[in-house]
Amino acid sequence: MFEKLQRKWKVNGIDLVLILTTFALGGSICGIAGRKIMELTGIEKGVTWIITYIIILSIIWPLCVLLTSIPLGQFTFFKKYIYKIFNRFKGKDFDNKIQAATPIPEETLRSALPEKKGDATNHITTLAIFASGAGSNAKKIIGYFENNPTVKIALIVCNKPGAGVLQIAKAHHIETLIIERERFFNGDGYCPVLKQQQVSLIILAGFLWKIPSALLKEWPASIINIHPALLPKYGGKGMYGAKVHEAVIANKEKESGISIHYVDDIYDNGEIISQVRCQVTETDTPQMLAEKIHALEHQHYPAVIEEVIKAKNTLNKSMVHQ
Protein backbone atom coordinates (compact mmCIF):
# COMPACT_ATOMS: atom_id res chain seq x y z
CA MET A 1 0.00 0.00 0.00
CA PHE A 2 2.79 2.41 0.92
CA GLU A 3 4.62 1.79 -2.37
CA LYS A 4 1.37 2.53 -4.19
CA LEU A 5 1.06 5.87 -2.39
CA GLN A 6 4.68 6.71 -3.17
CA ARG A 7 4.04 6.14 -6.86
CA LYS A 8 0.77 8.07 -6.80
CA TRP A 9 2.17 11.11 -5.00
CA LYS A 10 5.68 10.83 -6.52
CA VAL A 11 7.49 11.14 -3.18
CA ASN A 12 10.28 9.26 -1.43
CA GLY A 13 9.85 7.13 1.71
CA ILE A 14 10.70 9.88 4.20
CA ASP A 15 8.30 12.36 2.61
CA LEU A 16 5.57 9.71 2.60
CA VAL A 17 5.98 9.19 6.36
CA LEU A 18 5.83 12.96 6.92
CA ILE A 19 2.75 13.27 4.73
CA LEU A 20 0.90 10.50 6.57
CA THR A 21 1.96 12.03 9.90
CA THR A 22 0.57 15.37 8.75
CA PHE A 23 -2.74 13.72 7.84
CA ALA A 24 -2.93 12.08 11.28
CA LEU A 25 -1.93 15.11 13.35
CA GLY A 26 -3.98 17.51 11.25
CA GLY A 27 -7.03 15.28 11.56
CA SER A 28 -6.64 15.03 15.34
CA ILE A 29 -6.24 18.80 15.71
CA CYS A 30 -9.26 19.30 13.45
CA GLY A 31 -11.36 16.98 15.62
CA ILE A 32 -10.34 18.72 18.86
CA ALA A 33 -10.94 22.19 17.40
CA GLY A 34 -14.30 21.06 15.99
CA ARG A 35 -15.51 19.86 19.38
CA LYS A 36 -14.39 23.10 21.05
CA ILE A 37 -16.34 25.08 18.46
CA MET A 38 -19.41 22.91 18.99
CA GLU A 39 -19.27 23.60 22.73
CA LEU A 40 -19.48 27.30 21.95
CA THR A 41 -22.59 26.84 19.78
CA GLY A 42 -24.65 25.41 22.62
CA ILE A 43 -26.35 22.92 20.28
CA GLU A 44 -27.51 19.77 22.04
CA LYS A 45 -26.29 16.43 20.71
CA GLY A 46 -28.54 14.99 18.07
CA VAL A 47 -28.98 15.08 14.30
CA THR A 48 -28.48 18.87 14.12
CA TRP A 49 -25.33 18.58 16.22
CA ILE A 50 -23.88 15.88 13.94
CA ILE A 51 -24.65 17.79 10.74
CA THR A 52 -23.20 21.01 12.13
CA TYR A 53 -20.11 19.18 13.40
CA ILE A 54 -19.46 17.63 9.98
CA ILE A 55 -19.82 21.02 8.28
CA ILE A 56 -17.39 22.62 10.74
CA LEU A 57 -14.84 19.81 10.26
CA SER A 58 -15.09 20.19 6.48
CA ILE A 59 -14.36 23.90 6.78
CA ILE A 60 -11.47 23.80 9.26
CA TRP A 61 -9.77 20.58 8.10
CA PRO A 62 -7.78 22.25 5.28
CA LEU A 63 -6.50 24.94 7.64
CA CYS A 64 -5.52 22.41 10.33
CA VAL A 65 -3.66 20.23 7.84
CA LEU A 66 -1.86 23.17 6.22
CA LEU A 67 -0.74 24.51 9.61
CA THR A 68 0.48 21.05 10.63
CA SER A 69 2.34 20.60 7.34
CA ILE A 70 4.54 23.68 7.86
CA PRO A 71 6.81 22.34 10.65
CA LEU A 72 6.93 18.94 8.90
CA GLY A 73 8.11 20.51 5.66
CA GLN A 74 5.12 19.34 3.58
CA PHE A 75 3.32 22.65 3.00
CA THR A 76 3.85 22.64 -0.79
CA PHE A 77 2.45 19.11 -1.14
CA PHE A 78 -0.66 19.85 0.93
CA LYS A 79 -1.28 23.20 -0.73
CA LYS A 80 -1.51 21.41 -4.09
CA TYR A 81 -3.42 18.48 -2.59
CA ILE A 82 -6.12 20.71 -1.08
CA TYR A 83 -6.30 22.79 -4.24
CA LYS A 84 -7.01 19.64 -6.26
CA ILE A 85 -9.75 18.55 -3.84
CA PHE A 86 -11.34 22.00 -4.02
CA ASN A 87 -11.37 21.94 -7.82
CA ARG A 88 -12.84 18.45 -7.94
CA PHE A 89 -15.78 19.75 -5.95
CA LYS A 90 -16.15 22.33 -8.72
CA GLY A 91 -16.16 19.57 -11.30
CA LYS A 92 -12.55 19.85 -12.45
CA ASP A 93 -10.05 17.02 -12.46
CA PHE A 94 -6.57 18.17 -11.61
CA ASP A 95 -5.14 14.72 -10.90
CA ASN A 96 -1.68 14.85 -12.48
CA LYS A 97 -1.06 11.44 -13.98
CA ILE A 98 2.64 11.06 -14.69
CA GLN A 99 3.22 9.56 -18.10
CA ALA A 100 6.44 8.08 -19.38
CA ALA A 101 5.68 9.49 -22.82
CA THR A 102 2.90 10.54 -25.15
CA PRO A 103 0.19 10.05 -26.43
CA ILE A 104 -1.73 12.76 -24.60
CA PRO A 105 -5.16 11.87 -23.18
CA GLU A 106 -7.82 12.40 -25.86
CA GLU A 107 -10.14 14.37 -23.60
CA THR A 108 -7.36 16.86 -22.84
CA LEU A 109 -6.63 17.36 -26.52
CA ARG A 110 -10.30 17.59 -27.43
CA SER A 111 -10.79 20.56 -25.09
CA ALA A 112 -8.15 22.50 -27.01
CA LEU A 113 -9.61 21.92 -30.48
CA PRO A 114 -11.80 24.47 -32.25
CA GLU A 115 -15.53 23.84 -32.18
CA LYS A 116 -15.99 24.40 -35.91
CA LYS A 117 -15.12 21.63 -38.30
CA GLY A 118 -13.07 22.31 -41.41
CA ASP A 119 -10.56 20.89 -43.82
CA ALA A 120 -7.64 19.50 -41.79
CA THR A 121 -5.81 17.99 -44.81
CA ASN A 122 -3.18 20.73 -45.10
CA HIS A 123 -3.26 21.91 -41.51
CA ILE A 124 -0.22 23.86 -40.32
CA THR A 125 0.41 24.13 -36.58
CA THR A 126 1.68 27.58 -35.66
CA LEU A 127 3.86 27.93 -32.58
CA ALA A 128 4.85 30.88 -30.41
CA ILE A 129 7.90 30.36 -28.20
CA PHE A 130 8.09 32.34 -24.95
CA ALA A 131 11.60 32.74 -23.51
CA SER A 132 13.40 35.06 -21.08
CA GLY A 133 17.08 34.21 -21.45
CA ALA A 134 19.76 32.84 -23.75
CA GLY A 135 17.30 30.63 -25.57
CA SER A 136 19.15 27.32 -25.83
CA ASN A 137 15.89 25.35 -25.71
CA ALA A 138 14.27 27.72 -28.19
CA LYS A 139 17.20 27.21 -30.56
CA LYS A 140 16.82 23.43 -30.39
CA ILE A 141 13.08 23.67 -31.04
CA ILE A 142 13.60 26.00 -33.99
CA GLY A 143 16.22 23.68 -35.48
CA TYR A 144 14.08 20.61 -34.93
CA PHE A 145 11.10 22.01 -36.87
CA GLU A 146 13.07 24.02 -39.43
CA ASN A 147 12.31 21.66 -42.32
CA ASN A 148 8.91 20.50 -41.13
CA PRO A 149 6.28 21.73 -43.62
CA THR A 150 3.40 21.28 -41.17
CA VAL A 151 4.88 23.25 -38.24
CA LYS A 152 5.58 26.98 -38.32
CA ILE A 153 7.29 28.96 -35.55
CA ALA A 154 5.69 32.33 -36.09
CA LEU A 155 6.83 34.32 -33.08
CA ILE A 156 9.41 34.56 -30.31
CA VAL A 157 7.93 36.32 -27.26
CA CYS A 158 10.35 37.75 -24.70
CA ASN A 159 10.10 39.93 -21.59
CA LYS A 160 13.77 41.06 -21.66
CA PRO A 161 14.92 43.38 -24.49
CA GLY A 162 18.54 42.20 -24.24
CA ALA A 163 17.91 38.45 -24.05
CA GLY A 164 19.98 36.18 -26.24
CA VAL A 165 16.91 34.43 -27.62
CA LEU A 166 16.14 37.55 -29.67
CA GLN A 167 19.38 37.10 -31.60
CA ILE A 168 18.47 33.49 -32.27
CA ALA A 169 15.11 34.65 -33.64
CA LYS A 170 16.82 37.21 -35.84
CA ALA A 171 19.24 34.62 -37.22
CA HIS A 172 16.30 32.41 -38.21
CA HIS A 173 14.16 35.29 -39.53
CA ILE A 174 11.44 34.78 -36.93
CA GLU A 175 9.37 37.74 -35.76
CA THR A 176 9.83 38.85 -32.16
CA LEU A 177 7.54 40.45 -29.60
CA ILE A 178 8.88 42.28 -26.54
CA ILE A 179 6.20 42.31 -23.86
CA GLU A 180 5.76 44.62 -20.89
CA ARG A 181 4.42 43.60 -17.50
CA GLU A 182 1.32 45.80 -17.17
CA ARG A 183 -0.32 44.76 -20.43
CA PHE A 184 0.69 41.13 -19.97
CA PHE A 185 -0.79 40.70 -16.49
CA ASN A 186 -3.48 43.37 -16.27
CA GLY A 187 -4.39 43.92 -19.92
CA ASP A 188 -5.20 41.62 -22.81
CA GLY A 189 -2.10 39.44 -22.31
CA TYR A 190 -1.14 40.19 -25.93
CA CYS A 191 -3.83 37.74 -27.05
CA PRO A 192 -4.74 39.88 -30.12
CA VAL A 193 -1.13 39.73 -31.34
CA LEU A 194 -0.95 35.96 -30.95
CA LYS A 195 -4.32 35.51 -32.65
CA GLN A 196 -3.17 37.68 -35.55
CA GLN A 197 -0.26 35.26 -35.98
CA GLN A 198 -2.78 32.36 -35.82
CA VAL A 199 -0.86 30.75 -32.94
CA SER A 200 -2.34 27.38 -31.97
CA LEU A 201 0.31 26.19 -29.48
CA ILE A 202 2.40 28.19 -27.01
CA ILE A 203 5.76 26.78 -25.92
CA LEU A 204 7.51 28.07 -22.79
CA ALA A 205 11.28 27.68 -23.06
CA GLY A 206 12.86 29.31 -20.02
CA PHE A 207 10.11 31.90 -19.64
CA LEU A 208 10.09 33.20 -16.06
CA TRP A 209 6.78 35.07 -15.84
CA LYS A 210 3.60 33.32 -14.76
CA ILE A 211 1.07 32.90 -17.56
CA PRO A 212 -1.97 35.17 -16.99
CA SER A 213 -5.58 34.01 -17.08
CA ALA A 214 -6.20 35.79 -20.39
CA LEU A 215 -3.81 33.44 -22.18
CA LEU A 216 -4.98 30.35 -20.27
CA LYS A 217 -8.55 31.07 -21.32
CA GLU A 218 -7.73 31.54 -25.00
CA TRP A 219 -5.32 28.59 -25.26
CA PRO A 220 -6.67 25.84 -22.95
CA ALA A 221 -4.49 22.72 -22.88
CA SER A 222 -2.32 24.42 -25.50
CA ILE A 223 0.45 26.01 -23.42
CA ILE A 224 3.40 23.72 -22.66
CA ASN A 225 6.27 24.23 -20.23
CA ILE A 226 9.42 22.32 -19.32
CA HIS A 227 10.65 22.19 -15.71
CA PRO A 228 14.18 21.05 -14.71
CA ALA A 229 13.07 18.58 -12.02
CA LEU A 230 10.69 15.69 -11.44
CA LEU A 231 7.46 17.43 -10.52
CA PRO A 232 5.65 17.74 -8.20
CA LYS A 233 8.94 17.95 -6.28
CA TYR A 234 11.06 21.08 -6.60
CA GLY A 235 8.36 23.08 -8.32
CA GLY A 236 6.46 26.23 -7.49
CA LYS A 237 7.14 29.93 -7.36
CA GLY A 238 10.83 30.79 -7.25
CA MET A 239 11.97 27.29 -8.21
CA TYR A 240 13.79 27.72 -11.50
CA GLY A 241 17.26 27.32 -12.96
CA ALA A 242 20.14 26.86 -10.54
CA LYS A 243 17.82 27.10 -7.52
CA VAL A 244 16.22 23.79 -8.48
CA HIS A 245 19.53 21.97 -8.91
CA GLU A 246 20.93 23.39 -5.66
CA ALA A 247 17.86 22.12 -3.79
CA VAL A 248 18.12 18.67 -5.37
CA ILE A 249 21.80 18.39 -4.43
CA ALA A 250 21.22 19.76 -0.92
CA ASN A 251 18.52 17.13 -0.27
CA LYS A 252 20.80 14.33 -1.51
CA GLU A 253 18.33 13.11 -4.11
CA LYS A 254 19.34 10.01 -6.06
CA GLU A 255 17.66 11.14 -9.27
CA SER A 256 16.38 14.22 -11.02
CA GLY A 257 15.19 14.96 -14.53
CA ILE A 258 12.78 17.00 -16.61
CA SER A 259 9.00 17.37 -16.55
CA ILE A 260 7.12 18.53 -19.63
CA HIS A 261 3.62 19.63 -18.69
CA TYR A 262 0.61 21.71 -19.61
CA VAL A 263 0.35 25.09 -17.90
CA ASP A 264 -2.47 26.07 -15.57
CA ASP A 265 -2.94 28.93 -13.12
CA ILE A 266 -0.52 27.54 -10.52
CA TYR A 267 3.25 27.38 -10.97
CA ASP A 268 4.39 23.94 -12.21
CA ASN A 269 1.03 22.36 -11.45
CA GLY A 270 -0.49 21.45 -14.82
CA GLU A 271 -1.01 17.96 -16.21
CA ILE A 272 2.29 16.23 -16.91
CA ILE A 273 2.87 15.06 -20.46
CA SER A 274 6.25 13.38 -20.09
CA GLN A 275 9.08 12.94 -17.60
CA VAL A 276 12.65 11.82 -18.26
CA ARG A 277 15.00 10.91 -15.41
CA CYS A 278 18.73 11.01 -14.79
CA GLN A 279 20.89 9.85 -11.89
CA VAL A 280 22.34 12.23 -9.34
CA THR A 281 25.66 11.01 -7.99
CA GLU A 282 27.34 11.95 -4.71
CA THR A 283 30.00 13.90 -6.61
CA ASP A 284 27.57 15.96 -8.69
CA THR A 285 27.57 19.71 -8.19
CA PRO A 286 24.59 21.92 -9.13
CA GLN A 287 26.48 22.93 -12.28
CA MET A 288 27.14 19.31 -13.25
CA LEU A 289 23.50 18.43 -12.65
CA ALA A 290 22.43 21.45 -14.72
CA GLU A 291 24.45 20.11 -17.65
CA LYS A 292 22.73 16.73 -17.38
CA ILE A 293 19.33 18.41 -17.30
CA HIS A 294 20.12 20.67 -20.27
CA ALA A 295 21.10 17.60 -22.28
CA LEU A 296 17.75 15.97 -21.47
CA GLU A 297 15.86 19.17 -22.34
CA HIS A 298 17.56 19.54 -25.72
CA GLN A 299 17.08 15.89 -26.57
CA HIS A 300 13.47 15.40 -25.51
CA TYR A 301 11.57 18.72 -25.48
CA PRO A 302 11.27 19.19 -29.28
CA ALA A 303 10.29 15.53 -29.78
CA VAL A 304 7.56 15.69 -27.13
CA ILE A 305 6.22 18.90 -28.69
CA GLU A 306 6.05 17.09 -32.03
CA GLU A 307 4.12 14.21 -30.43
CA VAL A 308 1.65 16.65 -28.89
CA ILE A 309 1.13 18.27 -32.31
CA LYS A 310 0.63 14.89 -34.00
CA ALA A 311 -1.86 13.78 -31.38
CA LYS A 312 -3.84 17.02 -31.66
CA ASN A 313 -3.89 16.84 -35.46
CA THR A 314 -4.95 13.19 -35.44
CA LEU A 315 -7.85 13.97 -33.14
CA ASN A 316 -8.76 17.05 -35.19
CA LYS A 317 -8.92 14.97 -38.38
CA SER A 318 -11.09 12.36 -36.72
CA MET A 319 -13.52 15.08 -35.63
CA VAL A 320 -13.61 16.58 -39.13
CA HIS A 321 -14.61 13.23 -40.64
CA GLN A 322 -17.26 12.43 -38.03
The kind and range of the H/E element at 276 are strand 272-279
CA angle 18, 19, 25 (to 5 degrees): 85
Q: What is the chain's length?
A: 322
Query: What 3-state class would DSSP assign to 235?
Result: coil
Are the C-beta atoms of residues 270 and 262 closer than 8 Å to each other?
Answer: yes
- C-alpha 318/C-alpha 322 separation (Å) is 6
For residue 321, indicate whether it is catalytic.
no
The kind and range of the H/E element at 37 are helix 13-41
Q: Which of 227, 245, 261, 300 is catalytic?
A: 227
Based on DSSP, count helices (H) and strands (E) in the chain, helices before strands.
12, 7
- C-alpha 166/C-alpha 177 separation (Å) is 9
H helices present in 90-233, as ranges? 106-112, 136-145, 165-171, 181-186, 191-196, 213-218
**DSSP label at residue 271:** P
- C-alpha 177/C-alpha 157 separation (Å) is 5
How far is Cα of residue 129 from the mean position of the Cα atoms in its chain? 16
Q: Which residues are catalytic?
A: 227
